[in-house]
Structure 1
Amino acid sequence: MSMDGLMRALEWLTVESTLHHAALASELCTGRTLGEDREPLWVEGNKNTPQTLPIPEDFPAPKKEISHPATTDLEPSISCFPDAQAINASIVRREMAEEGKRCVRQQLKALKEKQDALRLSRVSLQKEEELQREQLQKKALRERNEILLVQKADQMTAAQLEAQQREQLALRQQTDNKLHKLALEGVARCQRRFNQKYEGIARILLSLDKETVQVCATQNKQLKELGQKFEQLVSTVKMGKCEMQSQFLCSIIKAEECCKSLDALEMDIIKQLAEFSEQIQQQLKLEAAKKQEEERQKQAEEEKQRLEKQALEAKEKQQQAEAAKAEAAKISAPEVPKPQEVPPAVSTAASSCVHPDRLKFYNEIIALYQAKVDAVKPLQTEESLKQYRTGCQRAINLPLNAISAVSPQHLTQNFDKLYSFFAGQPVKVVNGSTITINDHPLARDYCMLLMAKKFVSQTETAISSNPQAAFPFASVIVTFWKLLPDFGKVFLAYMYKESPFLVPYVIPQQPEQTNEQYLKSIGYRLSDKNELEKPDMYLKRQTGLARLYAAVIITQGRKSAGPDQCFELEEGWLWLAHMVNVKPLPDVSATLIMEILQTLGFEMWRTYGKQFVKLLIYIQNIYMPQLAAYDEGGPKTRLEMLLAKFLRERQIPQAVGILPPGFW
């Protein structure tokens, strides 16, 4: 119940109490009371007395208009005055009512205060709850923010860590790539050395017969194991399977160790073969000595018989002379004796450096080459023609570098590109324009010199490490030689400049020449640092030159170019015959003879037969002792073993990689 309702109820209670008291007082009054005379408003039992109706609690009693009776001038009766006790009782009741109302007011006020306090406490409680809720929300928000901050910090830390890890991984990968590249370069260098040495040793072992191979059985097994180990190392480095960076450097060290082991194995094989060769030589010497002894005894017997015969003839002549003297004494005039015939002197002025015929041929070739070089100098030196020279070089280098015996079509295609350029066909260059060989009057000789030089340069790149590559190049060279005769002479000039031993011409050292000048004159090169190249590199180039020279002699050209051969097998016979009659040179002479025999030996044996066998025997018995006075290295030992094998087996295998007739 609201306070307004309570206040209305209290007012209604006051009015009701007052009316009730007034009603009681009216019954007791018999006389005049205070105020004017009036009839009682109601008397109990009067029909006009209104019935007391129940008054609702929520609403105050309606105000009734009391009708005032007409005033009379009657005397008041005693009964009209109230009794004192009743008045006192009414006063007491009124006071009690007032007291009750006061108590009710106080209670109501206390209740209202209590309600206010309760409301205030509730409000404060709500405020506290709201404050606590806000604090809890703030705390939750702060915790959530802290969690978000922690998560964000963790994410940032994780991102930074991941970025750092990626950076480190990229740096490691970059380092690994660099180390891998370094290891590849180092192992590749070692691989070239290893393969060259391995091929040399394998060639030695393949050139031996079964009996000699058994002497090197242990070394042969070690060679195979070492080759497998090196191939496994190379494959591991190529695939980049090294887990640690230090393993890349270790691979280079292992490759170097393999090369050193191979060198040691080669020395061991050479030593073993030298010992075996010495044993064979001793046996051969014993057999030769025995044979010579037998021949000496035979000659002694023949000489003895001849002397006996001469003694008999002399005795007969003496007898005849005595008889003739007896007859001559009878004649007075003596006979005049006939003049004695004098035999002509024999001239044997042969040079120990080069045969005169070969020297004449060499001078003609070099003179032609020098004339062409001098003629093209204006084209080479003019700055405005630099782009044209570059285009010519590109037109020659691209198809020439692609020459190989993959298929006849491939070889034909690259040859046609070269020959069409020499025939005057236009060729595209880098900037999209075209050039022809007819754009300059000196271009043909310039391009001829350029192409010949490029062919010779293949000997130190492709041919020195792969003997089979010499034959497709030789086939193209022979074809150009047929179509452009001057090209063949220019090609020979470049070959002779790089290796005068192909003439053969052992250029003597002049008194005023230094060792460096002399080595340059026989083909040694200077590096960018003005250092003379190593002997093994020089020997490798000489090997490639000999292979290409022999391949040109034995290889046929293109069918459509004509059947005539420009450089026939006779050149190989002449070279070999003259080479064994000039001054030997350490390592070089043995290497070149061995390469020529391995490439041309099959055809020369088939063509010249017994004469070639005699030449081989001459090399073994006469030339090799002369070479031994200058050379005691590996090439000389390998040549000895190769000659012994050829003569023992009475055959020379055909060179691998020769193009069959009519290949393209």
Structure 2
Amino acid sequence: MDDMMRAMDYLKVTSTMHNAALASTACTGRTLGEDREPIWVEGSTSTAKPPSPEGSPAPEHKKEIPLSPAADFEPNISCFPDVQSINASIVKRELAEEGKRCVRQQLKALKDKQDALRLLREPQQKEEERQRDQMQQKVLRQRNESQLIQKADQMAAAQLEAQQREQLILRQQTDQKLHKLALEGVSRCQRRFNQKYEGIARILLSLDKETVKVCSAQNAQLKELGQKFEQLVSTVKMGKCEMQSQFLCSIIKAEECCKSLDILELDIIRQLAEFSEQIQQQLKMEAAKKLEEERQKQQEEERQKQMEQEKLRQEEESEAKKKQQEAETAKAETANVSAPLETKSQDVPPAATVTSTCVHPDRLKFYNDILALYQSKVDAVKPLQTEESLKQYRTGCQRAINLPLNAISAVSPQHLAQNFDKLYSFFAGQPTKVMNGATITINDHPLARDYCMLLMAKKFVSQTETAICSNPQAAFPFASVIITFWKLLPDFGKVFLAYMYKESPFLVPYVIPQQPGQTPEQYLKTIGYRLTDKNELEKPDIYLKRQTGIARLYAAVIITHGRKAAGPDQCFELDEGWLWLTHMVNVKPLPDISATMIMEILQTLGFELWRTYGKQFVKLLVYIQNIYMPQLAAYDEGGPKTRLEMLLAKFLRERQIPQAVGVLPLGFW
């Protein structure tokens, strides 16, 4: 309000000053006072006209009249305004001033009232603003909290979903791994199951109707096992196992099926053996009856002959003495002629016939030559072996041979060459460290070379019952070192063969016959059985396991090449395996051991024999299956014979034999 009043005053002053400035141009003297008239009054003719606007030219016909000095000019009373008008203007001005003052007072009072109200309302407004801010902050905080809770829920849901997704992926991966593991385990069991199943089915198919009836329960059980195993295989292949433990259970079930099949096979073999014994007993009884009948017939015929001879004797007694003398002379001559004939027939000993059915003559000669060389060396080193003063030297020789020989393996060519060099440097006469820092050489005693050769050959053969029995692949690095020594020391190869033949004469092959009066225990010792610590014969399964290791090493020596630096010549070639196999099927078979040896040789040498001899080897396999196996069946009805049948059937069905695992490549070291 004050600003408005000040603006009005400013406008009045400005207007007054403007009018005064306009009037000042026409005034030359005093114009105010009671004795002065106004300069110009509207309607008066004597008064001067108002000045022309600035810039307008004055009329030319009128001349300017110079004004007289102020002292000579007398003012006219008419030039002053009226008192009443002045008073009225003064009153108006006072009233205006008074109105302004009242307005100012009212405005001030109003302003004061407003300030008081404002001062009174400020705390309330502040409180309201504070409450409003608190409410806004609370709403904002609630909104933020809700947003945070929502975001947390979203993040938790996302994390939960991601965890569930990861768990699902992990479960799927685990299921895939378990499925793959189950497939591998069940496939291995399936191969075993199929091989065993085919062997049992082949056995049952080869039987006649009456014999099959004996095994009817086992046959039904065999079909049930086959259906159960096929269902298990289909379930594992389709991956229908709902739980992870079911994958592992499938492997256990497959193993149980294989074990059940093994038990079933043994049950069938036992049942057939019992039935065979019954048939044999019946045949024996029938044969005994026939023999009894024939004996009775012979007795009757003999009685009739005796009666006839009695009659003839009585008739001959009536003859003359001359005829009796001639008869006696004729009998004497007959006796003299028959004696030399009997002696001639006994020139060939029966042992020759027995030996020809047990070993081929050429192989027997080779066997005897090898053993003769071995025995000569054993006899030669007896002074070194028995002398008490040389005990420490013998111990040093054993240590120099055993340490590198036990470390032989195909870990790397360098490892194999390093152990061979230790052995060969000792045989070459290099000093070798032994216990207590002492050194010995093989030249310290003249019999040490043969003694160490025998010792090393025996140590190589002993590996068959330790390392090679449990790990068939270990036979090949040992065979490579043996072949290398064979090339460098030819007598070593013969000594090694002698030890092999002593442990297993079936490698000749030589089926040693049982001598008259020889007990079963003594005979088993001659074919390789050993005595235990309790002075008892070892069990057949241990014997077969040891013979398997010997056959593996023998076959590995045949197909393994030696060190490149030793020379390219092969001293024990593949034809030895061919000769062994052809001779083995022509000698008398023995239970379990014959089938075990043939099966091991085929598994190790079969790949090379098939590749080298081709159709001839296939013919040999067919001969073994069709001719030799029936001969073997007359002596053997055990597990090795059945496994050999299944192995032959597989080879001929697939028309191939896989290469033995672990064979060292040519030029390995």
Give the structure-1-normalised TM-score: 0.51
* Unaligned runs of at least 5 residues, structure 2: 1-187, 202-222, 234-254, 272-351
Q: Could you report, residue by residue, the CA deviation over 1:427-464 in whole angstroms, capped at 9, with x for unpaired residues? A: 11111110000000000000000000000000001111
2:615 counterpart (606, 610, 617): 610
**In 1, Cα distance between the equivalents of 2:190 and 2:407?**
29
Tell me, what secondary structure is at the counterpart of 1:479? Answer: helix
Pair 1:585-2:581 in alignment: no
2:263 counterpart (253, 267, 286): 267
Q: 1:264 to 1:435 in 2, by over 3 A?
A: farther
Q: How far did residue 529 of structure 1 move? A: 1.7
Q: 1:416 to 1:260 in 2, by over 3 A?
A: farther
Counterpart code for 1:617: V
Q: Could you report, residue by residue, the CA deviation over 1:361-384 in whole angstroms, capped at 9, with x for unpaired residues? A: 000000000000000000010000
Aligned match of 1:596: 601
Counterpart code for 2:364: L
Aligned match of 1:637: 642
In angstroms, what is the RMSD of aligned CA positions?
Answer: 3.3
Aligned match of 1:392: 397
Q: Could you report, residue by residue, the CA deviation over 1:338-385 in whole angstroms, capped at 9, with x for unpaired residues? A: xxxxxxxxxx97811000000000000000000000000000100000
Pair 1:442-2:447 in alignment: yes
Counterpart code for 2:264: D
Aligned match of 1:567: 572
Pair 1:474-2:482 in alignment: no
Aligned match of 1:375: 380
Matches within 5 A, 1:52-67: none
Q: 1:203 to 1:502 in 2, by over 3 A?
A: farther
**In 2, Cα distance between the equivalents of 1:382 and 1:439?**
15
Aligned match of 1:426: 431
Q: How far did residue 203 of structure 1 move? A: 8.6
Contact 1:216–1:272 (Cα < 8 Å) also in 2:
no
Q: 1:473 to 1:221 in 2, by over 3 A?
A: farther
Contact 1:558–1:662 (Cα < 8 Å) also in 2:
yes
Q: 1:383 to 1:220 in 2, by over 3 A?
A: farther
Q: 1:209 to 1:511 in 2, by over 3 A?
A: closer
Counterpart code for 1:638: R
**In 2, Cα distance between the equivalents of 1:376 and 1:530?**
29
Aligned match of 2:653: 648
Q: 1:412 to 1:634 in 2, by over 3 A?
A: same
Tell me, what secondary structure is at the counterpart of 1:527? Answer: coil
Counterpart code for 1:541: R
Pair 1:558-2:563 in alignment: yes
Tell me, what secondary structure is at the counterpart of 2:470? Answer: coil
Tell me, what secondary structure is at the counterpart of 1:431? Answer: helix
Pair 1:353-2:353 in alignment: no
Matches within 5 A, 1:161-200: none
Matches within 5 A, 1:486-501: 486-501=491-506
**In 2, Cα distance between the equivalents of 1:390 and 1:662?**
35
Q: 1:209 to 1:516 in 2, by over 3 A?
A: closer
Q: How far did residue 513 of structure 1 move? A: 1.4
Contact 1:201–1:266 (Cα < 8 Å) also in 2:
no
Kindly report structure 1 stretches of 4+ aligned residues shifted beyond 4 Å: 200-223, 259-265, 269-275
Contact 2:192–2:258 (Cα < 8 Å) also in 1:
no
Counterpart code for 2:383: P
**In 2, Cα distance between the equivalents of 1:584 and 1:419?**
41
Aligned match of 1:416: 421
Aligned match of 1:453: 458
Q: 1:202 to 1:261 in 2, by over 3 A?
A: closer
Counterpart code for 1:408: P
Q: How far did residue 516 of structure 1 move? A: 1.2
Aligned match of 2:625: 620
Q: 1:616 to 1:562 in 2, by over 3 A?
A: same
Contact 2:397–2:452 (Cα < 8 Å) also in 1:
yes
Q: 1:485 to 1:432 in 2, by over 3 A?
A: same
Number of positions where the alignment pairs a residue of Structure 1 with one of Structure 2: 361
Q: Could you report, residue by residue, the CA deviation over 1:553-577 in whole angstroms, capped at 9, with x for unpaired residues? A: 0000000000000110000000000
Q: 1:209 to 1:268 in 2, by over 3 A?
A: closer
Aligned match of 1:544: 549
Contact 1:471–1:552 (Cα < 8 Å) also in 2:
yes
Q: How far did residue 267 of structure 1 move? A: 3.0
Aligned match of 1:465: 470
Give the structure-2-normalised TM-score: 0.51
Q: Could you report, residue by residue, the CA deviation over 1:401-450 in whole angstroms, capped at 9, with x for unpaired residues? A: 00000000000000000000000011111111100000000000000000
* Unaligned runs of at least 5 residues, structure 1: 1-199, 224-258, 276-347
**In 1, Cα distance between the equivalents of 2:229 and 2:269?**
11
**In 2, Cα distance between the equivalents of 1:478 and 1:512?**
41
Q: Could you report, residue by residue, the CA deviation over 1:521-568 in whole angstroms, capped at 9, with x for unpaired residues? A: 111111122111111100000000000000000000000000000110
Q: 1:425 to 1:260 in 2, by over 3 A?
A: farther
